[in-house]
């Protein structure tokens, strides 16, 4: 039997298999509100046969958006817009759905990728002042962020909690807190971005303090039986930065707080990073967390081969495999993986007739 297609349970959420659709920014919201694009995009992925679908990085305050076109969950309007999308998706799919709550920190206020992704400065149209642990810009020539004071940190912390309450009202099955890719919580964790001299900077314990406080607020605001996970960057791939050893320490602190899972990515903090990109290049970072804790662990990054995904789970490198660009390119990747590995996968009843003659037991309604 394929281990990749073995069912699993995280909290109260039953997953049909170990394939997770990772959050992927679409840069297609209007003032933080989900649009028809999100309905098409999420609806398509909801029919993929994966075990869990994760909604893209969703800002908890307007200033926390990566771009002006990012999704948000900070108001009644943003909640209502996402509710409309979810109601339609759920009408035709029972896939569990999670949401990633985020704040972009010093990497906020940028143009969408197809317009180059450069920073939009505060005095430019649609731009705003960014905030971070310390007043250190992401890239040379960027308008520097304002170092957050304690009052501003409290506002952001509570905004994560309010967004978690909205996620609960929307009936979302799980929350992932974004503490990776150089965004705000990762900025607090890494000594390359956090040079504070108060109790939120300096030592590893101090640098972990604010991300852990955010976790506590989200966990308290979301129903206890629904999972709350954290996405981390297992390495900055830069000298003197965040690394695997510190990631393990952070994961252990999360484990003590009852965290449901850790999703291990990497990079994104500094433009000078040197990433050894290749198939499964981040898997060792996930393996280190899994070896040191009892937390369910998710591996991600250039996982495209069905056999490779199976091996990651079968070898105990991670408990789950997450797909991003791979599943955008091949939305029925789980179908093809199940066919290759001799497993079965859930499909809409409208599509059951598409089952190939050589795989008569592949699709189940």
Active site members: 183
| C-alpha dist (Å) from residue 307 to 294, 332, 342, 346 | 25, 16, 12, 20
Which uninterrupted H or E stretch holds 240?
A: none
CA-nearest of 90, 281, 53 to 174 is: 53
Q: Where are the beta strands (DSSP E) in the chain?
A: 8-10, 13-15, 19-21, 52-59, 97-102, 131-132, 146-147, 174-179, 228-233, 261-265, 297-300, 320-323, 345-346, 363-364
Dihedral pair phi/psi, residue 106, rounded to 5°: -75, -10
In angstroms, the CA 140 to CA 145 distance is 12
What burial letters (b/e) apply to 123-134, b meaning 16+ CB within 10 Å? Answer: eeeebbebbbbb
Which token pair is 53?
């679908």
DSSP state of 110: B
Please answer whether residues 262 and 227 qualify as being in contact, where contact means their C-beta atoms are separated by less than 8 angstroms.
Answer: no
CA distance 54 to 67: 19
What is the biggest distance separating any 2 CA atoms in the chain, rounded to whole angstroms?
A: 66
Phi/psi at 102 (nearest 5 deg)? Answer: -150, 160
């Amino acid at each position: 039997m394929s281990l990749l297609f073995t069912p699993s349970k995280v909290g109260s959420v039953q997953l049909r298999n170990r394939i997770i659709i990772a959050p992927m920014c679409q840069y297609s919201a209007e003032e933080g509100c989900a649009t028809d694009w999100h309905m098409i995009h999420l609806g398509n992925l909801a029919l993929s046969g994966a075990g869990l679908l994760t909604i893209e990085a969703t800002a908890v305050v307007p200033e926390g958006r990566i771009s002006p076109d990012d999704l948000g969950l900070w108001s009644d309007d943003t909640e209502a817009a996402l509710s409309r999308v979810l109601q339609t998706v759920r009408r035709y799919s029972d896939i569990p759905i999670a949401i990633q709550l985020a704040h972009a920190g010093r990497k906020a206020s940028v143009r969408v990728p197809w317009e180059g992704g450069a920073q939009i400065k505060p005095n430019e149209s649609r731009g705003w002042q960014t905030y971070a642990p310390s007043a250190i810009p992401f890239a040379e020539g960027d308008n520097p962020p304002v170092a957050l004071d304690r009052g501003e940190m409290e506002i952001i912390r509570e905004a994560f909690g309010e967004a978690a309450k909205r996620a609960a009202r929307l009936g979302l099955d799980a929350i992932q807190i974004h503490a990776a890719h150089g965004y705000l919580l990762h900025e607090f964790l890494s000594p390359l971005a956090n040079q504070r001299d108060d109790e939120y900077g300096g030592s590893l314990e101090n640098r972990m303090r604010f991300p852990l406080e955010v976790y506590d607020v989200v966990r308290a605001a979301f129903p206890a039986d629904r999972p709350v996970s954290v996405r981390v960057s297992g390495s900055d791939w830069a000298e003197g930065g965040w690394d695997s050893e510190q990631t393990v320490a952070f994961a252990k602190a999360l484990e003590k707080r009852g965290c449901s899972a850790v999703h291990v990515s990497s990079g994104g903090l500094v433009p000078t990073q040197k990433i050894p990109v290749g198939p499964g290049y981040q898997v060792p970072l996930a393996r280190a967390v899994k070896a040191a804790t009892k937390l369910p662990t998710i591996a991600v990054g250039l996982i495209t081969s069905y056999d490779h995904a199976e091996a990651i789970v079968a070898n105990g490198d991670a408990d789950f495999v997450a797909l991003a660009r791979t599943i955008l390119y091949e939305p029925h990747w789980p179908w093809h993986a199940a066919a290759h590995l001799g497993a079965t996968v859930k499909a809409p009843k409208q599509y059951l007739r598409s089952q190939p003659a050589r795989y008569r037991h592949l699709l189940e309604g």
